[in-house]
Amino acid sequence: MDWGMKNRMSRIINPKTGRAVMLAFDHGYFLGPTHRLEEPRKTIEPLLPYADTIMLTRGVLRTSVDPESATNVVLRVSGGSSIVGADLSDEGITTSFKEAIKLNVAGVGMSVFVGSKHESQTLLNLAELVNQGEDYGIPVLGITAVGKELEKRDARYLSLCCRICAELGTHIVKTYYCDEFEKVTTSCPAPIVIAGGPKLETEMDVLEMTYNAIQQGAVGVDMGRNIWQNDHPVAVIRAIRSIVHENNNPKQAHDVFLTIKDDAESTKAANA
């Protein structure tokens, strides 16, 4: 691994802990103006200090993140389908490496749809992205998408998806947490971060999923809705950080969440 690749990987996975807190804001590329991401800048700005890396498209990066923020970016470079279209798996590469370099990204990411009508198309696109990533020293994040078929999220299917991504050369894999998750991590030679998926019912659900994933071999998270759709997003991401980087358990992390939430509410009341 060349110097540039190592340097960019260290911007995604903290070399001091070997772990990562990634924050996903790329949902609009197929969902449009998602709840609480209608105005991206308002959602993104308060959370930037607490994310090791953010994931988003070039359009939202340019319009909604200040260049002076020194934020590490993994750029979403796939798309071409929408939630109202015929098939979410019909994606292509939307952004060039020239653009990625101009935007000073830490990495690029794209989805693959294993078992779908467009499986070959998305896997070959990922392989080509890895080829170019190796040329330019830019890590590639392979994302194991399931489209609208959430029932696919079991260990057997996700192990298949993650292993294929790793075999194609991806430097990091993003996948879902599931029962018997250690089967997924142990059979994938690339580091894995977990997606949050649809918003969970409680903060403790999010913290327990994060903790369990780390205990079973994940190097971190790449969450979105379970952070910024919460009424207290800063408290949630700081609680998640305490698990990922400080080895807190869910109870300790929930105490972090409550303390930060209560302090924010007290400050807001005092300034009212």
- Active-site amino acid positions: 174
CB 86 within 8 A of CB 113: no
- Reported in sequence order, the residue ranges of 150-264 that DSSP labels E, i.e. its strands, are 172-176, 192-195, 220-223
CB 53 within 8 A of CB 74: yes
Beta pairing partners, 143: 111, 174
DSSP assignment letter at 200: P
CB 75 within 8 A of CB 12: no
- Distance CA(256)–CA(151), nearest Å, equals 33
